[in-house]
Each structure stands twice: as C-alpha cells, then as structure tokens.
Structure 1
Amino acid sequence: MEEHEEKCTVVLKGGTDIADSKLVFSVDSKFIAGCSGSEVKVWSLASGQCVQRLKGHKGRITAIALHPANPYQLYSTCQSGFIKKWDFMDGVELASWKTSSPCLAILPTKQSTLYALTGIVSKPSSALVSVELSGNESSITKIHHGILPKDNAVAISCQELFVAAVTPGTLVIHTLQSKNETPHVVQLKHQVKNISKSGEFCCVSTHPKEMCIATGMKDGKIILWWFCVTERKITAIKPMHWHSLRVNDISFTALGTNFLSGGHECVLVRWQHNSSERSYLPRLGSPITRITTSNDNTLYALCHADNSIQIISQDFKVIQVMQGLTLVQGLDHTGLILDPKSGSIVMNGRPGHLQFYNLETDTQLFNLDIVCQNYISPENLRRPLIYTEVSRSAFSPDGEWLATVEERIDRKTTPEIRLKFWKFNTSKQQFVLNTSVASPHELSVTDFTMRPALDLQAVSTSVDGRFKLWSLVDDTDIYRKRQRWSCESVGFYRDCTPSKATYSSDGSILAVAFDTSLTLWDPDTNQLCEALSHPSKITHLAAGVESTAHLLICGTSQNIYAWNLLSCSVHWCLDIKPQNIVVNPSTEVLAVFTQDLKLKVLHAETSDVVFEQDAISPGPVTSALFVLGKANTSGPLSWMGSSKLYYLDTNQELFTLEYQNDEDLESNPTKKLKQDLPETTLSQILKGKAHKSLVTNEEDFEATRVGTISSQFLSEMLSTPAHVLPAVTTLCLPFLSELMVRSKSHVKHDDEEDEEEEEEMEVDSDDGEMEVAMVTKSEVKPVVSRDQSSAYHELNPQMFHAFR
C-alpha cells in the first residue's frame, strides 16, 4: 500500500444546503448571496450562474448579513465560531473575529456592535447576545436564553431601536441602549394565548419604516405588533390568518407597504400591510423556508425545502431558478447512476422525479417527472403523506433507454408498482415514455439493472421471490412502426427471496443473489447454470471488468468474497464489513466503503489494499460510482485511472477524493463581479478599450464600431473645463459624426489619416498665446457637406490646449 494518504483530501462536491438560511441581495439587485456549506456563493440574477465564492471558513456557514452602513460589505458566521467581514463584490476578506460560541444568526449595526444568536443547530434553543467587535477580538454579552435556533428567529428594527426575537412561546423585545435610556427586555407571553391556539412562534420580522413586528405562528396565523419604544409596551395587535400549516418565514418589502409569507402549502402570499388584502403565487413545487426582498421592491428570493432558490418578480413571475442537489425526503432509493449521454449523475430528486446533476458546475440540469403527479402538502405535518416514489432506475449502455420503477406502498392498501421504459428523443432532446407496465411484480422491487452488452435486456428482482427478464420486441402495426418492452421469462430459486442481480461485463452471465445463495443463469435461455453458497445473506453484488471480468464480487454483512466464474470457486475472501462496493470500470480495482467510515481500495485479482482513507464522510455511504474524467497516471490516486470516485452519504452530501495541490489549483481566484458583466458601449468608452483587439478582420472591426464613440474624443471633451469649451452647436457635429456608419471605401483611408493626425499636430506656445495646426478627420460625405464640416476646423484653440 502506498504511503501517500496524507496528500489526499476529501472534497465536498455537492449537496450543500443553499436554501437553509436567509439570502442577501446586492444593492443594485443584480446579484444574490447565500450560504453553501463552508463558503458563501454569489449568483448573477441575469444568468443564474455562481460568479463568486467567498472561501475562508472552516465550518458550515450558518448566516450572512449586509453591513448597514456599507452595502458592499457582508458579514458571515459559521459553526466553528468565526465572524468574517467581506467585500463580496471583489471577493476579499476584510476582517475576522473569533467568538467564544458558534453564531446561528447575526444582525450588524452601524456601530461596532452586532447582535447574534449563539448555540448549536441540533439543540432546541439558542441565546440572544450582543457581540462587540474591536480589532481582532470580540466580546459577548448575553441578553436572553431560549431563542429558537435559526436565523429568522431574530430581527432588528428600523433606526436600530430594538431587537425582536422569539422563543417557542414568547416574543422577546430588547430595547437598545441610547444616551438617556438603559437596555430593557419586554416579554410577551400572555397576549399570545388569547390570539393563537398553539401559542408557538416560528419566525419574526420587523417593519423597515415603522415600529411594527410581524410574527409567524405554528397554527398558520400572522400577528402584527406595534411597539412603543418610549413607553416600552405594545400599543396595538393585529392578527391575520390564511396559512393552514405553520408559517416558515415573513419578510417586509423595502418600503413596508407589503409583506410576504410562506410555508408548507408551497404558496407565496403577499399581504398589504394596512389592510387584509392579499395575493397568491401557488404551486411553487416545494415548501418555502426563507423569503428575502430586494432593496428596489422588484424581486423576491424564495428558498425551498428541496434545496432550490427561485427569484420572483413583483408581478409574480419566476425569472430565475438556482437549483442545487435536490435533497430527498426519506431514504435515497435509486442511488447514484451515471447518464452515458450527458455524463451527469442521476438520482432521486423531488417526489416522483429523477434529477440530472452536473458535477462540474454543481448545478442541476433538469428534473425528469416520472410519476406525473403534483406535490400535495399534508394536512398535518405530524402525519406526512405517502407519495409515489422512484425506487429503481437504470440506463442502457448507450444511454438511449432509461428504465424506472415507481412504487407507493402505504401498508394499508394494495401496493402500487409500475415499471416504465423511456426512449431518448433526439429531436426533442428529452426522454419520452415508451412502455408502461402496471404491477410488474406482486411486491416491492429489490433491484433492477440492464444488460451491459449484446442484445438489450433488463432484469428485475422482487420480494415476491421472482426475477423477470425484460426484452425489446417489435410492436409494429398498420398505424405505426415502433418497439416496446415485454417480459421474456420469469425465474426463481427454491423459496428464497432475490435481493441483488447483475450481469457479467460481457453480458453472457446473469448473477442473482437469493438470500445466502449466488445463482448463475444464462440470460438468453434463462437456465440455471450454477448455485454458490455463502454463510450469510448476500447484500452486495458487483462484476469484474477487463482482465478481471471472470470475477464476481459478493459482499455480506461480515465478509467480501471474490468468485471465479471459470472454476466456480472462491478466489479470495477478506474479513471486511462493507457498506458499499463499487468497481472501477477503467482499472482492475474496486472501492469498498466500510461500516466504520473508511475507504479501502482493493486489487480485484490479488485482493491487495492499494489505497486506504479514514473519515471519508460524516455519515455512512449510501451510494458510490466512478465517473470517467481526466487520467490519474501517478501519485496516490493513480488507481482511479481515467475515472473519478464520487460517493453520497446519509446527509445527502456528495464527496470525492483529490490531491491537496489539485484542490488549491481548482479553487477560483479572487475576481471582481463587474468583470462578469457584459461590456457595454459606455464601459468600453470610459475604459478606453479598443474593439479592434477583439476581432480578427476589418469587417468585424467595422461592425463593432457602429454606435461607438471614439474614446479619445470623448475623454478630451469630458476632461476640458466647462468655461473653455466651445458652444454646444460646434461640438454637436463632430460628436454625431463619430456615431455614423462609415462606408467600406473610407475605412482604410480614415485609419491612415488618423495616423497622420498625430504626426502633423504641432502646438507652439509664446507668452500665453497658442497656435494649433491640426489635420482633421475626413468627413462622412454622404451625410456631412463641406460647408458643414468647415465648422469642425474652427474650434477654439484653448480647447485643444486643454485636450493635450
């Protein structure tokens, strides 16, 4: 085994929750920033792409907030107890402070003090504190305990007069210290019980112009509280109700005329602040967890429970969607599957969907709706609905066919099972349903895979004790020419239950695991060839590739076996407790993820350990696969060959292994966001950029000059003092002539004259008197006459002195 493990590192590639905390709009509403694991991502609202990554935190970032005095600066805090200040437009870290406790939310003020919630996310409560930042040090003063541990459980008022926070049953108002007053805490508990049945708070928000507080309740009510700072008491209360489930978040618009609310109904509700009028945006696809409004009142940013961000316009139109790795509710069924056509990873997404995920950009390509059912929110969160889920899926070797198994098993009614085959439509560039089989098995399907070579074939195994072979048959009639999938044959072995099935790499042998027996079948005739016994139940099954194609890897709860299919004997056996086994298609190794969170890479022929890594993920690995990429020819990861290993844990986070140096090289350099904006005519003029350097021929160069003013002419005109400029009528003609389209016959002639102008310009000065001799540019003859162009020569000599 190579002694290079210390040079490799576990890299988080996807699955970070981008919708678990409040987002932040830039001051011009062109960008939006949000937390993503241990970094802050900045997205462009024009393209939806991530244009900036702020890296520096060691732990997961829990909250971000703009500096109230400088909207170009941003605060971030993480679970490791650091608070950092960034210039997020330039991607530069400005300052960092270490706190004694991790912060879950931060509320910066215009002074050096900020307010925060300290605690741990997994615990049911946190503490409201004030943090004094001075130099590189910070000091914390506790204010109140028992606050809900999330970033929307605390808010600061306009003019920074008080901080409002909520516990499960109390609204806490902490008045801030001024010259003539001392801090004071007001707790409102008894008033809540008279308004809300549950009396439990979920979130809080403050009005940007008035001393008004909005709280969302567990029973779906929204309560508006008007607070008098001088008297330190509530002067008015107004309850409002529409939501049937708890209110997840509330956000006021910048002017305060409206506020928005959202919850598990997947509906955005916009309320008028001074009336009960409201409007709705329904069917958003997933419960709303956070709401943020832009400074110009034109955009709303919605965070959803499926790890997506939707940007909504003021007229309730979806204008942009930023989708991360969709978090699956419950267990992951299909695991990681590689799409041979797009090279993306396919796995469960929204209920009844498959998501296609791009590893390079950390974005979701699209969702494929398998079950064609709308998402329905439950009536009671304690009794969630049972949805039809995609339990198994597989691709054909060329990616032309996709097979899916969908199930709905509530253990009260008859199980609903459906097998579907999808054909990729080249013209539509999407998968189209070809065959749908109702009840392919009597009970739940345990495994499904497609034949890797030879004729198209698929196999499914079920708890009903049967496995079925599916093949493509001709279904042509007088109306159309088509093919469909049909059950070719059915197999079983004694009274055992099949759990796993796989084909050999050449497709000539079908292996099906029945409890403790490994059975080998001829897939063309469905005849049993051999039965191999194990001491315990088989939980994993994988076939060797290339020179190890004669081997079949079996995993039990205690051991890993390699069977030689030629001799039907055990080739080797290791005492390893596997959690997951995956074979590298480009080399002769297999990756084994153990139950104690270790990775062991074994040579399939000799069982030698060629690589080992500890602490590969926070949780057990549920699925893994190799993806073809750039070749690793040397170093500790050479066993990957031309593939790269990716694996998913129970927290639905996607990891891979990389060199430490490689990670540093792949990290994005610091860049300014304005460099990602498209170049405009005005920006090119002011920067003095020449269009000619961006094109390769004269015709393209002339095309770029249309409507573009000479940067030299404009800079001279703008830099000249106003009191020495000639009349506007004199400058108008040359200004307009710069905008005119020139004919091709004058292009080369004008360029030669431009060079002569610089050589023939002479400026003589004697006792403050100046004489300027200048060769002017050729007139645009089709538009400007010689009489008109004479005014261009009669410019004030003082103007040219100022230009120089």
Structure 2
Amino acid sequence: MITGGKSYVSSPPAFSNDAKKLLICTGSSVSIFSTSTALQISELEGHTDLVTSVIVVPASSKLLNYCWTSSLDGTIRYWDFSVAELVKTITISLPVHSMVIPSLLSKSSENDEKQPDLFAYVSVDGSQGKEKLPNTLCGQIRKCNLTKSRMVGAVTLAETKKPEFVTSSPAGEYIGIKDKRKLRIWEVPTKDSERVFYKKIKLHHTKKITTFAFHPTERIVAAGDATGRILIWRGFGDKTLCVRDKSANEDLMNIDDGRAGVRGEDDADSCTTWHWHSAEVKVLFFSSDGAYLYSGGKEGVLMVWQLDTEKRKFLPRIGSPLLYYTSSRDPSISTISCSDNRIHILKMPSMEIVKSISGIKLPRAVPEVLDGSCNGLAFNQTSGVAAICTDNYCIQFYNLFDDREIAEVQVCERNHQPVDEVTVTISVVALSPDGCVMCTVENRLPEDGIGGLVSLKFWVCGSQSTNFSLSTIVYEPHRNASISEIAFHPTRHMAVSSSYGGDFKVWVSKNAIEQKDQARPINGWKCHAVGSYKKKPLTAAAFSVDGSVLAVAAETVITIWDPENNVLVAVIGESLEPISRIAFIGKSDYLVSASRGSEPQLSVWSLSRMCVSWSYKLHIEAITSTMGDSFFAVLGLFPKTSNESTLHDVDGVILLFKAEDPVPVATWFVRKARGGGLAFVHLNPESIEGNTSDSTPAPELLAYINNDHEYVIFSPHGDQLDERGISLRENHVMPEETGRLGYESIYGELADIKPLNNLNSPASVLPSGRPWETIFSGSSHNLPPFTKLCSVFLESLLEKRTTDVE
C-alpha cells in the first residue's frame, strides 16, 4: 500500500541548526527536506496520529541533530533526525495540539554546568472522560517534565474552550496564547521546576485576535486581529512581570497617564495600531534583531514593517493566503507556508523565492450553482499522474507514486484575490489516454444574470511530458449551456463534449504529424460532428476501449453512437433518475452507469442484450474500470441518515465487481468519500527495483483520493505491494548533501596543480622569464590559493645569482 497527499502546512516547520534541512509535519510523520534542492531526504515515522509540532534542539557540543515532536496520539517523542532514529517516547495520554520548550531557547541554560530538568508547555484536549456540554472548557495548558517523562499534575496554567496554539518568546522568557479577544501571557521562571509561581497578565482588544508574536529583545508584543489590524503593545508587564523592588512597583501603580491606546487596566506602556491588511492577519514574526515585523494573511502578500518608522515593503503575488513564517539561524534563509499546501524558501533580506516545496493542492471552492456538476480531477492511468483543479485557477500535475508535484499549468490568468465570492471556476478537466492532450472547461459565473461565459480549452503537451501549451480556445461551445463531461478517444486525437443544453460535439485535431515514436497534434482543434437526442440534457459520455462505440447519457437513457459516422445505433432502457456517470467495462460487452437523485442507482447494462443485467440502489461518486478484463470499481456514499459514529467517521465504500456477478469481489470502507476520485493506474515494471523481466505485465493498482486530496494506492486483488512501493519511493529520495566549507564554499573546488619539481618534465624545471603574466590569468574561482602563488610570484621578481662558497 502506498499513501500520500498529506498536508505540509498543518503546523509550522522547523529548520535544522545549519539551515540545510527543513523538518515538516506531514500527517503522522515528519518529512525532512533539503533546503538547497527542495527534495525529500528522509522521514521520521513512529507517531500514529497527526504531528502537531516539531522543535529542533539548538546546537551544542554534543547535540547537533536532535528534535522533539508532539502529536494527537498523546505522545511526545525525541529523535536523532540525522539518522531518523527514535531516542525517547513520553506518553501523556492526552492529544497534544501545540508544544513549546522555552528552556531550550534560554541562554542561561547553556551556561549551567549541571543541566536542570527540561520542561515543555503543551496545549492538550482535556475533554476525554468529560461530558461535552455547550460551555465545557476542553483546552488546557499543561506542563510536562521531559527529563522525567511525566506530566506535572499540579500545574494547569489555563483552561480554554478549545485547545489553543502556544507561542514562546525567542529567548524563552515568556509564553502566551490567544483567547478570543485577549492575550494571556505567562513569565517562565529563570530556574524552572515542578513547583514554581507563575506571573501572568492579560491584554485586551475589541476584535478577535488571530495571531501574535514576541519581540526578541524588548518587552514588546504584536497581535493581529480578524479585521486586518496589527496592535503593538510596548512595555507589557512592567507592573506585574518585571522584577523590581516594592517601592518601585508602588510608584508604577500610581502612574496611569501616558498609556496611549492601552485599554482599561492592561499592564502596558502604550498600544499602537497599524492597518494595511484587508482580511484577518495570520502571520506575525519579528526579525532576529527586532528592527522589523513580518506580517501576512489572506491577501497572499508578505509585508515587512520597520518597527520604529512604520515604513513598509512587501513581497506581492505569492498566490495563496499565508499561514506561517519560519526563520533559521542563517539570516539569509527563511520560509513562508501557504494555504495551498506549499512552502516557499526565501532568500533574505531580498525576500526572493528560490525554491518551493509543493504538496498536493487542497480542494478548490465550488459555487453552489455548479455543485455536483464539476469534475475537477483526472487521471493518467498509464503513468499514475493526477491532474487536479486548484483554487488559483491552475491544474496541478501530481505523481501519486512519487508523492510530489511535477508541473502546474495556469488555465486562467487571474491574480489571487482575498474575497470569498468565487466568480470563475474550472469545472471540468480531462486527459487523453496517452497524456499528450488536456482539456479544461472554464466557467465565468454571471453577475445579476448577465455576463456568464463558458470556455473550452485544448492544451497540447510539449517536449517535456508535462509541459502543456494552449492550443485552442472555443468560447460558448454549446451556446450558453454548461459542459457536463469531456471524453477522449482511446487511440485517436478525438474528444467529445456533452452539455446540459441538449447536444454533444465531436472535436478532432486539425493536423497530426506522425513522428517516429509519437503523434502530436498541432494547429488546433475543430468541431467534427454534432449530435443530440430529443433535446434532452446530455449528462455523461464515454468511449469504448477500442474507440468504436460512443455512449452518451441523455438524462435518464443511454444512447449508443458510431463516432466515425455520427450515427445513432441504439438506445438502452431508462433509469429512474438522471445519469451522472457511465463507463465501458474493459473489453467486455457491458456498460456501467450511475444515477443521482432521491432514488440513486448503480446499473450494469448488457450491450448484447440491450437490457440491464443487475443493479443496486447506491449513491455513486466515481466509477473506474480496467482496460483488459471485466473488472470495475465504484466509490459509493452512505446515506446521511446512517450512524457514522459506529463506523469511525466512515462515510463511503469502495466496491470491486466483476461485470457478470452482482456480488462484490472485494470491499473497502473509506472516509471523506464525498467529492473523492477513483482510478485504476498502472505501475511501470521498469521503475520497480530488481525487475528486469520484459514479459512481466504492468501491475494494475487502484488509486483512491478523498475530498481532502489524501490518497492511497493498493492492489485490488490482494497482491503484495509494500516492497514495490518502498523501493519505488526510495529511488526518488535525494541523498543528504555534503556542504562545502571555507575556500570551496566561495570559489569552488581547487584545481589540481602539478608540482614544480617534476623531474619527468624538463620544461617545468626552467622557470618562465615572465611568469607573473600568466599565473593570475583566468577566472577567480579557478585560481589556486595565495599560499601556492606567493612563492612563485616572489621568486620571479628576485634576481638569481650563483655564488661560490669557499
């Protein structure tokens, strides 16, 4: 079994101490990427649920590549990530949503000869065993002794309605959480122990606080709210947290004036407000010297504010809302995490994006008027590549076997807009069986009933396997009706588009240049034929395996056509509800259809007898069939009235059938099935390590993608896939790079220099008359070091004399 499609942005990532590696929380594991190549190096596996935080231990004489991780599985683990080895596991039996270890950041702990106990502050879900009432406080801020592997039972810093994200100051002096419209901040004791007193303060605001950050050196905290405002509190905690004598504290309590912007009795000297963002602020981070503040949010723009002057500059057009900003110990590199499951590596201070780590894109927003009629997922069954519609009007090509993005095609040239209203959507994407042609349908929704537009676009693959360029645009291909399906001919460059307006059109390439190993269409596409059936809406279309038959669903009936002559051959029975999916079952004479509505139905039709063979009352989300035999698989949805709690959130089922038999061959229960996809894919035997047999057929596997774009690939017939999948993934994991140091990191590797005392070469014994004219010529990075040049250069300037010594 091969799994993938995990989120890279569920939690903030962390840099290694040398900034050459980036540790990313991906589902129940931690993936380690190279910052120079943006490719995966290794993986930390051991957690059984979502990993919520990863904290790298600062470099010391003994600890160089160690980290702590927390998870919803109720454990905290200690790793040596240089060798991907688990060192220690601490079980706290409560789901950990966030964790900080302030003492790792404290400078005092580095100077202590006797290292004290190491404490972590965790945000946990304490609702286990409690009755969940409307006002139940589920979130708790607890303390854990990592050295002794136990929770400090007597210490609960706070209780909140839900677990909140814990933030630590850069020096480990303070920790805090956001709680609706206020900040709750605690001072971490200098010498932490299990029994200490915590000083705490609260800072209030009129709007919901979404994020906040501590200044690295001064008593300053910045917070962002849901309206896009940034608040800067200066001198927070001077009365409560600052250590002074009693008389000084009494004097501070008597000073009430001069606190501009501070609300009520909040313990702060002043509070200023900045406003540039138009939506909620999600990212706040101070630079290492504290002179600048980074902010970002839904606009997809990274802002940099100068703290003293409020001057700003920005990195625009990132293309997706920002979630996290992460800095490293190397001031020239940092990252920003975006909601489209992508992490950009930035070169600082110019904020140039040098590399991107791209996971599978999250589902796109679909307007209600198009809900149920969009097909934003297509598969290339011969290569295991999925084409996915994304929110930024792109098609992402994702290799399911390698679990990485291989290309992205911009379908609609539109910048990211931080608005909730969707006016343009890609409703259909389809790929030809050979992967050379892609077809997309773009819907521009009307405003007040005016201005709607449907565009059909054909894309042709270039020299690279995923380099698509636009070939043809057809505006309003079916008048003002939407397109329901795009089906490609299995062997020719021909496609069929069916529409809800009551007609279908056959599209062919104008020209095809036959090359030695491929046929690539050029010069665009044109309409070859038009067909309809009693002006009924055409809801689905499919070609047979050999391309000799075309099936088009006309609402509740299936029409059979000769695609070459555009002749109606037959009409198959009538279903109770409109048909949404049809597919031919391999090389057999069976056809499968699925209808939606109040009485959904899965039906298998016999083309030889022109009648239904068998059927089920089942809501079908996706259908796929094998190319050779008579097997097919469907993704079914459970009724909403079913008791999902007893099935552990299972809401769907994958059923494998043989066309002649209504009894399923195999059954798998799945989650998040609504909006998911299903396809048979072929694993190339050449990509399997150790397989050199030319006669071995390509294994036919089943790929399932849920509505969160998490996927699994498995053998539907129970064949062993684990070893094949592991060897396949290992072939694409990049080895760890060995960095260059000193001279080589600046000028490159030194050139080989032959010694001057080589007696086998007579010419090298006699020095040149003017050697200084040539020894410094050439590129600077190819020059030998100065220590090797100096003796030769000085020797050429001195006059040699022969003397007789008596």
Q: Considering the TM-score relative to the shorter chain, is it more than 0.5?
A: yes
Q: For residue 533 of structure 2, what is the aligned residue in structure 1?
A: 493
Q: 2:125 aligns with which of 119, 124, 146?
A: 119
> Does the 8 Å contact 2:573/2:612 carry over to 1?
no
Q: For 2:490, give the aligned amino acid.
A: P
C-alpha distance after superposition, 1:449-505 (max 9, x if no partner): 11223x5322112222222222334699xxxx9633222333222243211111111
Aligned in 2, Cα 1:660/1:20: closer, same or farther, shift over 3 Å?
farther
**1:660-695, Cα deviation, whole Å (9 max, x unpaired):** 974377558999x996114769999xxxxxxxxxxx
Are 1:553 and 2:546 an aligned pair? no
Query: Structure 2 residue aligned with 1:35, among 2, 25, 36?
Result: 25
Q: How many residues align?
A: 672
Distance 1:253 1:120 in 2: 35
Counterpart residue identity of residue 491, structure 1: G
Matched, 1:592 2:628: no
Instruction: Tell me the alpha carbon deviations over residues 499-525 of structure 1, each in whole angstroms, 9 at most, x when there is no partner.
Output: 111111121211111222111122223
Distance 2:29 2:659 in 1: 39
Aligned partner (choices 271, 280, 286) of residue 237 of structure 1 = 271
SS at match of 1:539: strand
Contact 2:125 2:162 in 1 (8 A): no
Residue 359 of structure 1 is matched in structure 2 by 400
Alpha carbons of structure 1 residues 72 and 428: separation in structure 2 relative to 1, 3 Å: closer
Q: Distance in 2 between matches of 1:173 and 1:681?
A: 42
By how many angstroms is 1:157 displaced? Answer: 2.6
Amino acid across the alignment from 2:73: S
Q: TM-score, normalised by structure 1?
A: 0.75
Partners in 1 of 2:20 and 2:410 — Cα distance? 32
Q: 1:12 maps to what in 2?
A: 3
Aligned to 1:264: 298
Tell me if the contact between 1:648 and 1:655 (Cα under 8 Å) persists in the aligned partners: yes
- Is 1:432 matched with 2:425? no
Contact 1:219 1:245 in 2 (8 A): yes
1:565 equivalent to 2:601? Answer no
Distance 1:528-1:159 versus aligned 2 partners, 3 A rule: closer
Is 1:420 the counterpart of 2:457? The answer is: yes
Structure 2: distance between partners of 1:490 and 1:99: 67
Q: Which residue of 2 aligns with 1:400?
A: 436
> Are the aligned partners of 1:447 and 1:499 in contact in 2 as well (CA < 8 Å)?
yes
Q: In the alignment, is residue 73 of structure 1 matched against residue 66 of structure 2? A: yes
Q: Are 1:227 and 2:236 an aligned pair?
A: yes
User: Paired residue for 1:471, among 486, 508, 528?
Assistant: 508
Q: Secondary structure at the match of 1:228?
A: coil
CA distance in 1, matches of 2:197, 2:541: 72
Deviation (angstroms), 1:160 = 3.0
The alpha-carbon distance between structure 1 residues 114 and 148, as it changes in their structure 2 partners (threshold 3 A), is same
**Structure 1 pair 241–528 and aligned structure 2 pair: CA distance change class (3 A):** same
Taking only aligned residues, the RMSD between alpha carbons, in angstroms, comes to 4.1
Q: 1:482 to 1:246 in 2, by over 3 A?
A: closer
Q: How much identity, in percent, do the aligned residues show?
A: 24
SS, match of residue 616 in structure 1: strand
Q: 1:526 aligns with which of 560, 566, 579?
A: 566
Q: Secondary structure at the match of 1:283?
A: coil
For 1:626, the equivalent position in structure 2 comes to 680
CA contact (8 A) 1:386 1:408 kept: no
Amino acid at match of 2:482: S
Q: Would you say 1:583 and 2:625 are equivalent positions? A: yes
Deviation of 1:411 after TM superposition, in Å, equals: 6.1
Distance 1:307 1:264 in 2: 14
Residue in 2 that maps onto 1:99: 92
Matched, 1:64 2:54: yes
Q: TM-score, structure 2 length as denominator?
A: 0.75
**Structure 2 alignment gaps of length 5 or more:** 104-116, 242-266, 514-520, 639-651, 689-696, 764-791, 794-806
State the shift of 1:648 in Å. Answer: 1.3
**Residue 132 (structure 1) aligned with residue 145 (structure 2):** yes
Q: CA deviation at 1:423?
A: 2.3
Alignment-mate amino acid for residue 41 of structure 1:
S
Gaps of 5+ in 1: 1-8, 194-198, 379-383, 633-639, 685-703, 709-735, 747-782, 785-804
1:373 to 414, 423, 440: 414
Structure whose residues are more often helix by fraction: 1
CA distances 1:690-730 after superposition (whole Å, capped 9, x unpaired): xxxxxxxxxxxxxx99747xxxxxxxxxxxxxxxxxxxxxx
Counterpart AA for 1:570 = V
Structure 2 equivalent of residue 309 of structure 1: 343
Change (3 A) 1:403 1:620: closer
The answer to whether the Cα contact below 8 Å between 1:86 and 1:95 also exists between their aligned partners in 2 is: yes
Partner in structure 2 of residue 164 of structure 1: 176
1:214-247 residue CA offsets vs partner (Å, 9 max, x unmatched)? 1111121212223236633323323222212111
- Write out the 4+ residue segments of structure 1 that deviate beyond 6 Å after TM superposition: 120-125, 668-671, 681-684, 736-746
Q: Residues 681 and 99 from structure 1, CA distance in 2 versus in 1: closer, same or farther, beyond 3 angstroms? A: closer
In the other structure, the counterpart of 2:665 is 610
Q: Go from structure 1 to structure 2 and tell me whether the alpha carbon gap of 1:120 and 1:489 turns closer, same or farther (over 3 Å shift).
A: farther
Q: Distance in 1 between matches of 2:88 and 2:670?
A: 32
CA offsets 1:234-284 (integer angstroms, 9 cap, x no match): 233232222121110111222222221111111111122333122111111
Secondary structure in 1 matching 2:42: strand
Q: Determine the structure 2 residue equivalent to 1:144.
A: 158
Q: Which moved more, 1:284-293 or 1:572-581?
A: 572-581
SS at structure 1 position matched to 2:722: helix
Shift of the 532–342 alpha-carbon distance from structure 1 to 2, 3 Å rule, reads closer
